Amino acid sequence: MAEEPKETETKPGFQNPVAGFGVTFRAMFKKRLTEQYPEQKKTTAPRFHGRHQLNRHPDGLEKCIGCELCAWACPADAIYVEGADNTDEERYSPGERYGRVYQINYARCILCGLCIEACPTRALTMTNEFELADTSRANLIYTKEQLLAGLEEGMVDTPHAIHPGTDEQDYYRGLVTEAAPGTVRQVAVSKGEQSQAPSAAAEERGADA
């Protein structure tokens, strides 16, 4: 024989508003958490996932080898990479190839950091910069020139020759600590020959985001 359902006890109706006011009064005496942004910049955690950065070797050569693993690892399809071959007359990285075109669409990027884990040369890292908002979708597509780390003391801007007497492995072992004496920048030829197709494709992806 089925048991009859038991009646649930309900609190008197006048207690519900009182309980609500109790929450309000408790919150009134707590310290306010309002942050005066953007007048007061927020300090981020040391390992905060912010804007990306393409790093350089100590002599100024680029760490990116144009392998496109970061683009394959991106779940949001926000990265576009186009690699090219280095030559003795025009060298951008110690390896065989370098990233000729590098774009990140921040209208799509979810700042997950999977691209950082996929990079085999530690060429791509993330900074603490989080102010990425913009009024134009086109401005949210960052190019290689915007992402590439600036030159520090002892560096020579690319393209330039590899450190004499070293090879690619010496760079990744940390044996090259500065540019060789007399290192000068080479004439960039292929940079002016790159097509406009990648930018157009990136803008189209940004418009679809």
Say yes or no to pLDDT of 15 above 80.
Answer: no
Sketch the domain layout of the chain as residue ranges.
Answer: 52-203
pTM equals 0.73
Q: Measuring CA to CA, how many Å separate 152 from each of 16, 143, 177, 178? A: 64, 20, 12, 10
Percent of the chain at pLDDT above 70? Answer: 83
**Model confidence pLDDT, tens digit, residues 53-109:** 999 999 999 999 999 999 999 999 999 999 999 999 999 999 899 999 999 999 999
Range of lowest pLDDT (52-61, 103-112, 150-159, 188-197): 188-197
Structural class in CATH, domain 52-203: alpha beta
Once rounded to an integer, what is the mean pLDDT over residues 172-200? Answer: 76
Residue 103: its pLDDT value, please?
97
Mean pLDDT of the chain: 85
pLDDT band of 196, cuts 50, 70, 90: very low
